[in-house]
Amino acid sequence: MIEDLRKSETWRVFRIQSELVDGFENLFGLGPAVTIFGSARLTEDSDYYHQAVKVGKMLSNAGFAVITGGGHGIMEGANKGAKMGKSKSIGLNIDLPHEQVANRYQDITLNFRYFFVRKLMFIKYSMAFVIFPGGFGTMDELFEALTLVQTEKIESFPIILFGRKYWQGLLDWMKNTLVPGGTIDRGDFALFHVVDEPVEVCEILKEHYRVFGGPVPIGECK
């Protein structure tokens, strides 16, 4: 009887509920936080990895907790930088058959079975997204955030693409295909920023919260 229940859709609801409760309990009271996304496949040999370390440290010293997907590559770099700073380093790990192993630079580590629960935690507890070069998962997070802001399902918050050279082809396709095709407006490009330097990330956050207000002052970008 118990085994039948565990295989049922009802039992799945309880697993989902347990992940939600675990996330809410562990992240409640976290304070201002920024999520950094990016590929698990970009190693320490990549300049983007080292830039992620710099961004993580800078945000941490400016008073933001840093949240990542908890894996290696860009996520590890961002967590590593956050650990070098003054604020919390958080990893929201996902159970995958390959490649996802939690990096060691985390003050808080949570594990998720369901992508949509993990996504909820990113959105709920982040005041901004910084999107480094990445693959399908990174693109998924980027376009979901843009969709939620565009449709006003969440309040507008900074969405920052890091690495103009990496993103330029996508931006050109959007401008030359989506806009002429009428599927997005040219004004939708105001929903995000594109930067090449860590300090630009911090300055965008400072300007956003100067205009719209925020719960805490933002510290110096260094």
Find where tokens 């693109």 sit: 139
pLDDT over 80 (residue 218) = no
Give the model's pLDDT for residue 215.
55
* Per-residue pLDDT reduced to its tens digit, 179-203: 999 999 999 999 999 999 999 999 8
Sequence-distant (6+) residues with CB within 8 A of 49 are 42, 43, 73, 74, 76, 77
- Cβ atoms of 131 and 52 within 8 Å: the answer is no
Q: Are 22 and 110 in contact (CB under 8 A)?
A: yes
Q: What is the pLDDT of residues 92-120, one digit of tens each?
A: 999 877 656 789 999 999 999 999 999 99
Joined together, the tokens standing for residue 90 give: 């958080």
Question: 165 near 195, Cβ under 8 Å?
Answer: no
pTM of the full structure: 0.91
The token pair at 210 is 């100067």
pLDDT computed for residue 98 by the predictor: 67
Q: Tell me the per-residue pLDDT of 9-34, one tens digit each, with 9 for 90 and over.
A: 778 888 899 999 999 999 999 989 99
Q: Are 67 and 90 in contact (CB under 8 A)?
A: yes
Domain borders along the chain are: 28-212
Structurally, at CATH architecture level, domain 28-212 sits in 3-Layer(aba) Sandwich (3.40)
Give the model confidence (pLDDT) of 55-102 as tens digits: 999 999 998 999 999 999 999 999 999 999 999 999 999 987 765 678
Confidence at residue 4, expressed as pLDDT on a 0 to 100 scale: 55
